[in-house]
């Protein structure tokens, strides 16, 4: 089996290297058949990589411990689902997943846009370059197909990874990370070919949205995993690896907004190229952080010598992006200017500045400890207050802008029409703010502002739907005639839910901790938790205990069973027990540790509104799908536009 895996990876390496070298030569010398041949090599790389992936999956499923990778990440008693999820649990498997998704995406994107030969001729080598790097790493630096004499049992999987959310979180993140390669490859292809018209944007619009959606959902699922599995009562710790996924998402969010200005007004061509390059390079940086072990965090399970290679490749891609954008500046410059600082495009610009500022401050927070250690030899860390400060500074105005933007017309808006359109949302925000102050929510100003701005955004979105429905003659007709706009509004509503959930569960949470004997109680936010005693549990590959806790309060009675699991090979893991309160949309979250005998240390978090964060995920996906859904009228219009030398719009 292992030789088949190695051979197919070598074949994939040969194919993508050919796509890079032959594709570049063909595009440069304008050789049609060679360009098609390079394109075919890129298409053939996916099934070849798929065979390698199947080999690894079969080895994981059979717990074939002659594979070093299988031995490192599984054990005989590990359930099959988790054994298969070890595919992305380690470094070599993750790199293989990168290459698999990349060759799949590249093949499909190139095939769908194959008639736009001039652009595709230069896009193929860019895909080839990225794929060659990953194939090289897999063949010569970090192979998942190294073998050994079979040991008695494997080293198992880190207990916290043995969670159903881990079956979805990493693959979704990779679908997002790798998906950002598609707009990058087309953008660089556009620069190389001199096709700086909107063809590359049309070709990659839905790819960018899909990558952005996967990255967003992947992060939310990761946050939920952290919440239920890690046992510290939170869902986002500003961990460098969490930040590494957030940064490309922020850059992609900025791009999705600014690209609309290019499409509507023909402006910001340079800025859009910069954002695409930034998002892609941050996705590479994210993989580097996750897999190189350069920053010590709970996610950095794997440490290996790939760091130097990755850093070199990252530097190469940054230099390539900068050089190409600089080279094509004359083609990218436009003479169109903003007509007014009070216009839709201006609000998009403010949104972009805030998103990029937030992204860069997070990047600095991630880099500072590394640079500090490298330059001064001092170990420094950037903690939660730093990130929270910038989240409040940039995030709250961003929230407000989500409400302002839709109400402002393109080009310019007079103060009189603004006054009329702002009246309802402004009144909703003031009423909400005053009511919350009266109800005692003034203890947290960021929380109060988040709720007030949230009310403004929700009112502005509702106003848009109500007025639009009347003008279009129905909600479905309204959405169908401008899917991107109204899909975007649904996403904005999801962000408001997210903000309310975050503010409620962090600014207004209650935390209590106490050592208890059976029969003793602890009070938290109106709940009484009484510890009854301990019970043992046994799973397929672990044993453990559960503390039996009876809870009463707010007219409810229920039981919680926090505890710990002990895995013979892998170690110990906290098992939180959570009650979802449907009335407050919040949780009662508990963890327990044995102190001595049957005495336990019980920790309780009462987190109002936290379930809105997870509900926001569904709304986010719904909005993204609406925005992505193909529009037959638009497809026909674009097909006619590019009939002279390009294909109809692809996916």
Partner 1 sequence: MEWALALAAMLAVVAVVFVARPFLRDPSPASDRLDELAPEARRRLALAEERDRALAALKELEFDHRTGKVSDEDYRAQVGPLRRRAAEVLRALEHGEQARHERVPGQGERVP
Interface positions with partner 1 (CB under 8 A): 1, 3-4, 7-8, 11, 15, 18, 26-27, 30-37, 40-41, 43-44, 48, 51, 117-118, 121, 193-198, 263-266, 331, 334-336, 407, 409-414, 416-417, 420-421, 464, 467-468, 470-472, 637, 641-642, 644-645
User: Closer CB to partner 1, residue 123 or residue 505?
Assistant: 123
Matching residue, tokens 């799949």: 104
Q: CB-based contacts of 369: which residues, under 8 Å, 6+ apart?
A: 240, 295, 379, 380, 381, 382
Matching residue, tokens 């409810």: 556
Note whether 90 and 142 are within 8 A (CB). no
In whole angstroms, what is the distance from residue 298 CA to residue 265 CA? 45
In whole angstroms, what is the distance from residue 363 CA to residue 245 CA? 11
In whole angstroms, what is the distance from residue 249 CA to residue 353 CA? 15
Three-state DSSP state, 425: helix
CB of 17 to partner 1, least distance (A): 12
Q: What's the chain's length in residues? A: 651
CB of 540 to partner 1, least distance (A): 32
Task: Provide the token pair at 23.
Answer: 């594709």
Note whether 96 and 53 are within 8 A (CB). yes
Q: Return the HEC string of 281-326.
A: HHHHHHHHHHHHCCCCCCCCCCCCCCHHHHHHHHHHHHHHHHHHHH
Three-state DSSP state, 503: helix
571 torsion bin: left (phi>0), alpha (psi -120 to 50), beta (else):
left
CB of 306 to partner 1, least distance (A): 25
User: Closer CB to partner 1, residue 27 or residue 429?
Assistant: 27
CB of 336 to partner 1, least distance (A): 6
Q: CB-based contacts of 554: which residues, under 8 Å, 6+ apart?
A: 526, 527, 581, 583, 584
User: Closer CB to partner 1, residue 30 or residue 380?
Assistant: 30
CB of 351 to partner 1, least distance (A): 18
**Sequence-ordered strand ranges (E) for 155-257:** none
CB of 60 to partner 1, least distance (A): 17
User: Closer CB to partner 1, residue 1 or residue 338?
Assistant: 1
User: Closer CB to partner 1, residue 413 or residue 573?
Assistant: 413
Task: Provide the token pair at 109.
Answer: 């994107």
User: Closer CB to partner 1, residue 118 or residue 229?
Assistant: 118
Of 615, 618, 620, whose CA–CA distance to 505 is shortest?
615
User: Closer CB to partner 1, residue 253 or residue 421?
Assistant: 421
CB of 75 to partner 1, least distance (A): 26
- What's the sign of the alpha-carbon dihedral 11, 16, 21, 22? positive
User: Closer CB to partner 1, residue 420 or residue 559?
Assistant: 420
CB of 39 to partner 1, least distance (A): 9
CB of 444 to partner 1, least distance (A): 34
CB of 644 to partner 1, least distance (A): 5
CB of 645 to partner 1, least distance (A): 4
User: Closer CB to partner 1, residue 241 or residue 332?
Assistant: 332
What b/e readout covers 477-511, taking b as 16+ CB neighbours within 10 angstroms? ebbeebbbbbbbbbbbbbbbbbbbbbbbbbbbbee
Three-state DSSP state, 467: helix
User: Closer CB to partner 1, residue 120 or residue 161?
Assistant: 120
Q: DSSP class of residue 647?
A: P
CB of 4 to partner 1, least distance (A): 4
User: Closer CB to partner 1, residue 77 or residue 641?
Assistant: 641
Q: CB-based contacts of 547: which residues, under 8 Å, 6+ apart?
A: 531, 533, 534, 561, 562, 563, 592, 600, 602
CB of 546 to partner 1, least distance (A): 47
Helices 181-193 and 199-225 cross at an angle (nearest 10°) of 160
For 432, phi and psi rounded to 5 degrees?
A: -60, -50
User: Closer CB to partner 1, residue 119 or residue 166?
Assistant: 119
User: Closer CB to partner 1, residue 263 or residue 601?
Assistant: 263
């Amino acid at each position: 089996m292992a030789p088949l895996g190695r051979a197919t990876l070598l074949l994939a390496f040969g194919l993508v290297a050919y796509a890079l070298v032959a594709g570049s030569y063909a595009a440069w010398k304008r050789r049609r058949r060679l360009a098609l041949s390079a394109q075919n090599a890129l298409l053939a790389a996916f099934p070849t990589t798929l065979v390698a992936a199947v080999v690894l999956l079969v080895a994981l499923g059979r717990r074939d411990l002659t594979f070093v990778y299988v031995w490192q990440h599984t054990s005989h008693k590990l359930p099959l689902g988790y054994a298969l999820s070890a595919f992305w649990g380690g470094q070599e498997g993750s790199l293989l997943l990168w290459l698999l998704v990349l060759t799949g995406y590249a093949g499909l994107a190139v095939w769908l846009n194959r008639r736009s030969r001039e652009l595709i001729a230069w896009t193929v080598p860019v895909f080839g370059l990225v794929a060659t790097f990953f194939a090289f790493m897999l063949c010569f630096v970090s192979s998942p197909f190294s073998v050994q004499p079979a040991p008695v049992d494997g080293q198992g999987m880190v207990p916290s990874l043995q969670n159903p959310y881990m079956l979805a979180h990493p693959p979704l993140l990779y679908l997002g990370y790798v998906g950002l390669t598609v707009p990058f490859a087309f953008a660089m292809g556009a620069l190389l070919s001199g096709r700086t018209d909107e063809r590359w944007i049309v070709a990659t619009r839905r790819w960018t949205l899909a990558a952005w959606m996967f990255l967003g959902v992947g992060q939310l699922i990761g946050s939920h995993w952290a919440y239920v599995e890690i046992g510290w009562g939170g869902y986002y710790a500003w961990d460098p690896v969490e930040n590494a996924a957030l940064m490309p998402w922020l850059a992609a969010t900025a791009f999705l907004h600014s690209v609309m200005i290019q499409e509507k007004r023909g402006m910001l061509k340079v800025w859009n190229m910069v954002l695409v390059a930034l998002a892609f390079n941050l996705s590479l940086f994210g993989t580097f952080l996750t897999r190189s072990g350069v920053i010590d965090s709970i996610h950095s399970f794997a440490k290996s010598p790939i760091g130097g290679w990755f850093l070199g490749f990252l530097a190469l891609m940054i230099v390539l992006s900068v050089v190409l954008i600089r080279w094509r500046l004359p083609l990218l410059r436009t003479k169109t200017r903003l007509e007014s600082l009070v216009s839709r495009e201006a609000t998009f610009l403010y949104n972009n500045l805030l998103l990029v500022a937030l992204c860069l401050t997070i990047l600095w927070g991630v880099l500072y400890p590394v640079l500090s250690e490298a330059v001064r030899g001092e170990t420094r860390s950037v903690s939660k207050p730093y990130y929270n400060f910038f989240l409040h500074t940039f995030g709250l105005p961003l929230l407000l802008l989500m409400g302002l933007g839709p109400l402002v017309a393109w080009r310019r808006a007079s103060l009189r029409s603004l006054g009329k359109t702002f009246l309802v949302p402004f009144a909703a925000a003031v009423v909400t703010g005053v009511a919350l102050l009266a109800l005692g929510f003034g203890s947290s100003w960021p929380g109060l502002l988040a709720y007030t701005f949230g009310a403004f955004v929700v009112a502005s979105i509702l106003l848009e739907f109500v007025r639009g429905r009347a003008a279009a003659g129905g909600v479905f007709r309204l959405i169908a005639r401008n899917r991107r706009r109204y899909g975007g509004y649904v996403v904005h509503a999801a962000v408001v839910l997210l903000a309310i959930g975050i503010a409620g569960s962090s600014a207004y949470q209650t935390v209590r901790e106490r050592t208890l004997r059976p029969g003793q109680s602890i009070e938290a936010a109106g709940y009484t938790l009484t510890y009854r005693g301990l019970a043992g549990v046994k799973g397929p590959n672990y044993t453990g205990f559960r503390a039996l806790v009876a809870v009463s309060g707010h007219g409810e009675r229920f039981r919680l069973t926090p505890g710990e699991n002990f895995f013979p090979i892998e170690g110990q893991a906290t098992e939180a027990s959570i009650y979802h309160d449907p009335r407050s949309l919040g949780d009662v979250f508990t963890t327990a540790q044995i102190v001595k005998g049957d005495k336990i240390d019980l920790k309780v978090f009462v987190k109002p509104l936290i379930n809105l964060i997870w509900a926001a995920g569904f709304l986010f996906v719904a909005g993204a799908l609406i925005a992505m859904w193909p529009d037959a009228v638009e497809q026909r219009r674009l097909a006619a536009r590019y009939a002279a030398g390009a294909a109809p719009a692809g996916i």
